[in-house]
Structure 1
Amino acid sequence: MSKKNLKEIVYDSVLNSIYSSEYRANEIITETSLIQKYGYSKSPIREALTALCHEGVLKNIPRCGYQVIALTSEDIQKMLEYRMVLETGMLRLCFDTITEKQLLHLDELSSLCRKNTEDVMEHWIYNMDFHIALLSLGGNDYACAQLKSCMNMLWRAYAQLHWNKWSHYNIPADMKYHDLILDAIRQKRLEDAIHYLKEDLNDFGTSSS
């Protein structure tokens, strides 16, 4: 694995600080503050902030700094609706071709989701890995990239709107539908698998409220 350059280090650090609510919605981040924080030159700092602007995470406000873009409950609902269409649609397309080897890999990811951890960010990564792996059974790399982008944005939205509540719910219990989805696939019960997938998405959408 190649070593990260300075821009990538700053990019990841700022993004993780937004995920953890260290930087909150509408907060202004300045190049000067990051130069002082990391001890790097202005160039990699600016490159990282510019990249985050291009991805819709930050907004450049001239002579002021970079504002953390706020996401709303309506944004969350739209993203969950998008995921519902994408994930259930792909499962229908590939259902008859799913192999036991693929299901065993999903079993491993599901077990990680049930891991007893108080780290909500770690749990989110496990959950994201499971859903992307499930979607990948359809063999569409573009769809997987879009789901990853959507889930990253959802992560930011939950952090902004629900962090205090969301960080205290029962993490392993929240993943109860993963095994039900896999059991239904093994038993060739398509509509049940779709039902449990929808319930999983709906459950995660309301678990922080």
Structure 2
Amino acid sequence: MKENLKEKVYQGIYDDVTNGIYKQNDILTESRLIEQYNVSKSPVREALIELCKDGILKNIPRMGYQVMPVTLKEVIDILELRADIETSGLRKAYPIINEKQLKILDQIASKHVLDQDRIVSKNWSRNYEFHSYLYSLNGNVYGHNILMQIIKQSSRYVSQYFQSAWSKKCESDGRNHKDIVTALVNRDIERACQALETDILAVKEEILSLHSWSL
């Protein structure tokens, strides 16, 4: 029960950071969170400690917990790392992907395109589902666990950065996912990898274009 309360507080704060409810450098306090979640001090404190370990918050003595800022370099670096890892994983999976797996992948991609819910955290959750399943097809459990951590971090980085720099939301509508599935169905691994890289790095290109426009 105590663990569930900690997870509830952790996820709630995480989603509020991703959705822009809490801005970069905002200060959160234990008392405010205890009141907000209607729980005791213990699960709130444990959640805050975990959020600090994950680099989402920073403990500032006698003040509270600061929402950590995200830099342009951090966003670009993590997106480029994702592109490298995921395209490599897809190439390894390609020879062993079967028709049943392609149907599941297509169902996930279609669900993302048709769903009109544009809450950022839910949008990234759909994106996470597609990329998680796609990478899992290569059978590397260790690599999959690492990638899931990277994707979770990249979604927060991107959302925070966009809302801080341009006060806008950054979403993925899933169209590139359908392109990836179509290429795999057609047995075109090069096109599939190109579509996957485009999907991951589209945010990078948008960020760079916005920087160019603002200069």
TM-score normalised to structure 2 length:
0.87
Aligned match of 2:138 = 138
Cα pair 2:94 2:189 within 8 Å, conserved: yes
1:100-119 alignment to 2 at 5 Å? 100-115=99-114, 116-119=116-119
1:23-34 alignment to 2 at 5 Å? 23-34=22-33
Question: Which string of whole-angstrom CA distances, capped at 9 and with x for unpartnered residues, describes residues 111-146 of structure 1?
Answer: 111023333332221111101110000112222222
> How much does 1:84 deviate?
0.9
Unaligned runs of 5+ in 2: 211-215
Counting aligned pairs with the same residue, the percent is 36
Indicate whether 1:59 and 2:58 are aligned. Answer: yes
Aligned match of 1:166 = 169
* Residue aligned with 1:45, SS: helix
Partners of 2:187 and 2:58 in 1: CA distance: 47
Aligned residues: 204
Unaligned runs of 5+ in 1: none
* Residue aligned with 1:165, SS: coil
Aligned match of 2:157 = 157
TM-score normalised to structure 1 length:
0.89
Question: Which string of whole-angstrom CA distances, capped at 9 and with x for unpartnered residues, describes residues 22-44 of structure 1?
Answer: 11111111111112222322111
Cα pair 1:71 1:160 within 8 Å, conserved: yes
> How much does 1:3 deviate?
9.7
* Residue aligned with 2:22, SS: coil
* Residue aligned with 1:143, SS: helix
Partners of 2:179 and 2:35 in 1: CA distance: 49
Aligned match of 2:213 = none
Partners of 2:69 and 2:77 in 1: CA distance: 15
Superposed structure 1 runs of 4+ greater than 6 Å apart: none
Question: Which string of whole-angstrom CA distances, capped at 9 and with x for unpartnered residues, describes residues 40-91 of structure 1?
Answer: 2211111110111111111111222111111111111001111011000011
Change (3 A) 1:65 1:3: closer
> How much does 1:207 deviate?
4.3
